[in-house]
Structure 1
Amino acid sequence: MSEEAHPTAPALRREPAIRRIRRADLVDAFAAGLRDFQAHPAFGLFFGGVYALGGVAILACAFLWDLVYLVYPLASGFVLIGPFVAVGLYEVSRMREQGQAPTLSAVFGAIWAQGGRELSWMAFVTIFLFIIWMYQVRLLIALFFGLHGMPAGTFPGVLFTTPEGLGFLAVGHAVGAVLALVTFSITVVSFPLLLDREVDFVTAMITSVRAVASNPAAMLGWALCVVLLLFVAALPAFLGLIVVLPVLGHTTWHLYRRVVG
């Protein structure tokens, strides 16, 4: 029969290839990220400032509503949305990589162009994970302290000097570590990948998980560095995030370029 009678099926889109990386790649990516921040500090300080102000607003609401016992889990969970806030930083690094001079209109234009596309779905996934994070905290509080929670005034003493408080800390950190690892695995590569290529957000998440699974030592080492740097940066009322977030954001872009072929 003729070729027209049996049209060729569209070729399946190949999944992005994953490269193996080593500790030296992490060091090189961090150095490249630091250079990007030094070359265009205004962008980094802007996105870092927005992120820091968001953290301050969340904590202010917790104190205002007398929910002091949620300050630590809120601050910890707030880290989960960092990759979404850093999208503008990925664009700055991408433009520098292509030899272009980043401008305010170009960076925000690239972010605006993602509205309603796959990157928006990935942002929804991140926010959903933050909601799950807070729900599991409330569930653990109910399991260990009852449905009424704990009075704000007795919170420090109850948390560190009672069996219920110590159990809450142990289980809460264990569950939080698992959820944080899941979030890191599906976002570390997916956000820069969606900005860089035409792929769906499910493929981006799968690619991100594959990148972590193929480079467990290097990627988990990077995850530990991110956690430590963000923790230290958050201590002075989140103000350290103004500098730490842009460096981590730029570094994540260069790490993505080394991991995804």
Structure 2
Amino acid sequence: MTSKNTSSENQTPPQGLPKVNQVTADDIRASLKAGFSDFLARPVMSGFFGLFYAVFGILLILCLVWLSKIWMIIPALVAFPLVAPFAAAGLYEISRRLQTGESFGWHEILTVMVNQRKREMGWMAFVTLFILWVWFYQFRTVLVIVLMDSSFSDFEGFLNVVFFTAEGWTFLAIGTCVGALLSAVLFSVTVIAMPMLLDREMDFVSAMLTSIAVVKKSPVVMLAWAAIISITMLLSMAPAFMGLILTLPILGHTTWHLYQRAVE
């Protein structure tokens, strides 16, 4: 597999889509091991990205409470792990440089991240935001239709309505099904596309199609990986988001190594 410095802007995009490999459970284990090694190699730098993401999550929830948008807290918590690949861009570059033996510091990593605005990563951000907008819109629609006769003035009251009433159970069932579908779509188009766009000169549509091809070729293993990411991220958010300082870097580094095993 060809790895290159993302600061280069003048290479010709490859013709056609890259060949994808079958991903196995052994690949997941090996990638996790390599991701943990990358974290231990640069724990402070890696942990910084996890801390930044955790602080962003705390500020997001506080902002929703301040704006009295109590109903948005649950969809925000569900959607929060889905935007992790953007926070992990710096982690992909750390793993890439560790793998190639290149020396680097804060300047090199942050420069690569800033340079992504000139490349295809911005279009991937647009795709992600569009899917998240659909998620929030359908959540609000189901909320109004199913819970229109319910009232709640705070987050605790909202939880009581959702978890302890028949209307709330209906709302959860519909929301879970739609949310699972949108999450599967977003995972499929981004899981490999994000590190690939940082690593290679290619258009975002080709990156998304390659990512989908990887998921289609190994659906059980890749969906298992999606479940691992989701459960780990949600559990990490429980202690005031602080668990993300450790788990986000490891998952980010792991995704880089999984991408390299999945795509030739």
Contact 1:78 1:130 in 2 (8 A): no
Q: Which residue number corresponds to residue 153 of structure 2?
A: 152
Quick check: 1:186–1:209 contact (8 Å CA) kept in 2? yes
Which of 253, 257, 260 aligns to 1:257? It is 260
- Equivalent residue, structure 2, for 1:181: 184
- Whether the aligned pair in 1 keeps the contact of 2:14 and 2:202 (CA below 8 Å) is no
Identity within the alignment, %: 39
**8 Å Cα contact 2:54/2:241 also seen in 1:** yes
1:80 maps to amino acid: L
Following superposition, the deviation at residue 11 of structure 1 comes to: 11
Q: Is 1:211 matched with 2:214?
A: yes
Distance 1:194 1:165 in 2: 41
From 222, 225, 233, the counterpart of 2:225: 222
Native 8 Å contact 1:67 1:152 kept in 2: no
Instruction: State the shift of 1:201 in Å.
Output: 0.2
Deviations 1:67-108 (A, max 9, x none): 333222111111111001100000000011111123111111
Alpha-carbon distance between aligned partners in 2 of 1:171 and 1:95, rounded to the nearest angstrom: 44
Residues in 1 aligned to 2:54 and 2:33: alpha-carbon distance in whole angstroms = 23
Normalization by structure 1: what TM-score? 0.92
Comparing 175-184 and 67-76, the one that deviates more: 67-76
Q: What is the TM-score with the length of structure 2 in the denominator?
A: 0.91
Match of 2:249? 246
> Take 1:12 and 1:197, find their aligned partners in 2: how far apart are those partners?
9
**Distance in 2 of aligned mates of 1:120 and 1:67:** 28
Residue number in structure 2 paired with 1:82:
84
Alignment counterpart, residue 122 of structure 1, candidates 113, 121, 124: 124
SS in 2 for 1:13: coil
Question: Between Structure 1 and Structure 2, how many residues are aligned?
Answer: 251
- CA distance 1:97–1:12, shift in 2 (3 Å): closer
Residue 65 of structure 1 deviates from its aligned partner by 2.2
Aligned mates of 1:151, 1:198 — CA distance in 2:
50
**CA deviations over 1:121-146 (Å, ceiling 9, x no partner):** 11222222222221111111111122
1:186 partner letter: V
Report the counterpart of residue 97 of structure 2 in structure 1.
95
- Stretches of 4+ aligned residues off by more than 6 angstroms: none
Q: For the residues of structure 2 that align with 1:12 and 1:227, how far apart are their CA atoms?
A: 32
1:119–1:194 Cα contact (<8 Å) kept: yes
AA partner of residue 55 (structure 1): G
Report the RMSD for the aligned CA atoms in angstroms: 1.7
Say if 1:142 and 1:149, in contact at 8 Å, map to a contact too: no
Question: Residue in 2 aligned with 1:30?
Answer: 32
- Which residue identity does 1:62 align to in structure 2? L
* Structure 2 gap ranges (5+): 1-11
Matched, 1:167 2:170: yes
Query: Which structure would you say has the larger Rg?
Result: 1
Q: What is the identity, as a one-letter code, of the residue corresponding to 1:182?
A: V
Q: What amino acid is the match of 1:180?
A: S
1:139 paired residue number: 141
2:43 is the counterpart of 1:41: yes
- The answer for unaligned runs of 5 or more in structure 1 is 1-9
Larger deviation, residues 129-138 vs 43-52: 129-138
Q: Residues of 1 paired with 2:262 and 2:245: CA distance?
A: 27
Q: 2:64 matched to 1:62?
A: yes
1:5 aligns with none
Counterpart of 2:9 in structure 1 is: none
Q: Which residue identity is paired with 1:51?
A: Y
Instruction: Answer yes or no: is the 8 Å Cα contact 2:14–2:201 preserved in 1.
Output: no
| Cα separation, partners in 2 of 1:113 and 1:156, compared to 1, 3 Å | closer
* C-alpha distance after superposition, 1:156-199 (max 9, x if no partner): 32212222111001111111111111110000000100011111
